[in-house]
Structure 1
């Protein structure tokens, strides 16, 4: 994620916002969330092929639902509300607050908290699966 933002900044002169620490915090929390989901999926899948299939389905479905393929503001109001059940919408909103609106840490507190909640939920589910597989 960091490399993508650096590439955008260096090659396309994209602004990274005024608070680099807020950006780094969002990157770290999104990485934790992604890793937690990956741990859970690795316990659910029985084969590498299943893991690939599950991962692709979840990533594509949640990306579409979360506003990374189609801006949320273009979706019907009901879909905008449903989008809040996937981490991507919270991450996208947090990055937009930092980069587009020049937000700071206090402007992304809710986004970070929700992403940490998703991470915790994924990790708890993974731990439960680990215990039941013994």
Structure 2
């Protein structure tokens, strides 16, 4: 498994497309939308908007890691790598973990960089840094866990890209990442409670402002962990079907 982890990290460090999706595009969106929504408002309102937008776009863009995960798994399948690994003594669980762990690390680094950008450029508060770090790890686990499931469910890159956009953009819209959740209709607020983006965004904002209680943190961690775990379970169930389509 260690060899798979090392190989995946090296491959992703050389992927310029990943750098674009994970850092460049989120920063462009953050700067653009802060400029639009803070134009002409007083300092207090400006700070509230920034404190919502920075974690909001961070949460939204972590789910775009699913594009790279789908691409990696499908390339391995079509190039025969999956079949060759399956012929070794390594178990499917360790194969999936070896592919999964590097992406958890990559997304965690992405979140840290985006929050540091917000701190340096917009002076966002980071009142509870330990809580923020813990939330970053569990969000990385969740987004990549769902990405793992998607990678073994879809048959083509285009299908993976389309579903990722639905999850990333649709989830952002319904979870209040673009519009404050209090301004949304009641039925959409209810739907938001079933989405991981909502829980991550709310917890990040509270931790930034120093108002996140341990009970609320634990609840959010449990919910996000459940989403990521469900993704891993789906991936393990789908692996035999994925292997059947692998080029030998």
Q: 2:132 and 2:216 mapped to 1: Cα distance?
A: 11
Check the 8 A contact 2:126/2:210 in 1, yes or no: no
Q: Residues 42-64 of structure 1, C-alpha deviation per residue, up to 9 Å, x if partnerless?
A: 11111112211111111111111
| Counterpart among 137, 145, 150 of residue 28 in structure 1 | 137
SS in 2 for 1:85: coil
Q: CA deviation at 1:107?
A: 3.7
Runs of 4+ in 1 over 2 A off after TM superposition: 100-107, 131-134
Q: 1:85 — aligned with what?
A: 194
TM-score (norm 2): 0.51
Superposed displacement of residue 104, structure 1: 5.2
Distance in 2 of aligned mates of 1:117 and 1:102: 24
**What SS does the corresponding residue of 1:46 show, helix, strand or coil?**
coil
Contact 1:21 1:105 (8 Å CA) reproduced: no
* Cα separation, 1, equivalents of 2:231 and 2:148: 8
- Decide which structure has the larger Cα Rg and report it: 2
CA RMSD of superposed structures (Å):
1.5
In 2 relative to 1, CA 39–63 (structure 1 residues): closer, same or farther, beyond 3 Å? same
Matches of 2:212 and 2:175, distance apart in 1: 20
Other-structure match for 2:8:
none
**Could you give the per-residue CA deviations for residues 22-43 of structure 1, whole angstroms, max 9, x where no partner exists?**
0000000001101001111111
2:220 corresponds to 1:111: yes
1:37 aligned residue (138, 143, 146):
146
- DSSP-derived class of the 2:177 partner: coil
Aligned length: 133
CA deviation profile, 1:9-32 (whole Å, cap 9, x unmatched): 011111112x21100000000011
Note if 1:7 corresponds to 2:7. Answer: no
